[in-house]
């Protein structure tokens, strides 16, 4: 994740120190929360309030070149109105029709429920070498329904996906989006859609040209409580 600006348009980003256990490993760009007053990683389908985005690496073990590597505090971008971004998740078609796409096995989170993709937008980014899909690269395709059984995405009528065609997924604007998934096995950096409300992140913008999704916290640790 990369912080870009605050909701009011101000690009000055607040960075503050927070306590962290010396052995806790956190990577730059990771979404974090507080637990027992200390920073830890947010998890997939997070239900707790979000604190922000880690502004530095804290590997949790001694490092002669980084005195803070196992220190007792960590810098966090913590503005409650922080807008951050990550790459749009990609699914690969296994099959489909003029009005459906069936993603390859494992491309959709197992926890994704019925309607998880409703009102999102697919962007066709590449086609298999032998693809017969008549949609052009770069076409934006509205999603009208998702059926968990069979992982069937219902889309606006158009080209028939061929096995190996790839699509980026842009969640519905304003909707809570799915659990954060590991990109490199170490820290959370991309998204997988799950049921609406299953996480404390929401989609607030699409950047089709840069292939990025913009996000904000649904509930923030520093937010005003009612």
| Tokens encoding 109 | 């989170």
DSSP 25: -
Q: Is there a contact between 134 and 165 (Cβ–Cβ < 8 Å)?
A: no
Between 138 and 3, the higher pLDDT residue: 138
56-60, 113-117, 171-175, 188-192: least confident range: 188-192
How far is the C-alpha of 85 from the C-alpha of 98, rounded, in Å? 31
| pLDDT at 27 (0 to 100) | 87
Query: pLDDT of 167-225, one tens digit each?
Result: 998 988 887 765 444 333 333 444 544 444 456 888 899 999 999 989 888 889 997 55
The b-or-e profile of 123-137 (16+ CB within 10 A means b, else e) is: bbeebeeebebebee
| Tokens encoding 170 | 């842009």
Query: pLDDT of 65-97, one tens digit each?
Result: 888 999 999 999 999 999 988 888 888 999 999
For the chain, the distance separating the N- and C-terminal CA atoms, rounded to the nearest angstrom, is 29
pLDDT band at 226 (very low <50, low <70, confident <90, very high): very low
Query: pLDDT of 1-40, one tens digit each?
Result: 788 888 887 777 889 999 999 999 998 888 899 999 999 9
Q: Is there a contact between 3 and 77 (Cβ–Cβ < 8 Å)?
A: yes
Distances (CA, A) of 65 to 30, 43, 125: 21, 29, 41
Kindly report the average pLDDT of the chain as a whole number: 85
């Amino acid at each position: 994740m990369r912080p870009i600006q605050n909701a009011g348009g101000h690009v000055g980003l607040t960075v503050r120190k927070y306590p962290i256990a010396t052995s806790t490993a956190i990577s730059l760009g990771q979404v974090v929360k507080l637990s027992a007053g200390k920073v830890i990683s947010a998890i997939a389908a997070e239900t707790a309030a979000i604190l922000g985005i880690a502004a530095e690496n804290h590997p949790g073990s001694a490092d002669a070149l980084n005195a803070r590597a196992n220190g007792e505090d960590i810098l966090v971008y913590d503005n409650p109105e922080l807008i951050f971004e990550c790459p749009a998740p990609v699914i690969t078609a296994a099959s489909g029709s003029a009005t459906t796409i069936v993603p390859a096995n494992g491309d959709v989170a197992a926890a994704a429920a019925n309607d998880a993709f409703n009102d999102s937008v697919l962007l066709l980014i590449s086609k298999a070498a032998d693809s017969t899909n008549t949609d052009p690269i770069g076409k934006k395709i509205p999603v009208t329904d998702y059926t968990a059984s069979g992982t069937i995405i219902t889309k606006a009528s158009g080209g028939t996906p061929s096995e190996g065609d790839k699509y980026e997924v842009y969640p519905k604007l304003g909707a809570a989006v799915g659990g954060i998934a590991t990109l490199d096995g170490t820290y959370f950096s991309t998204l997988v859609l799950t049921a609406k409300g299953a996480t404390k992140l929401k989609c607030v913008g699409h950047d089709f040209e840069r292939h990025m999704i913009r996000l904000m916290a649904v509930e923030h640790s520093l937010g005003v409580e009612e």
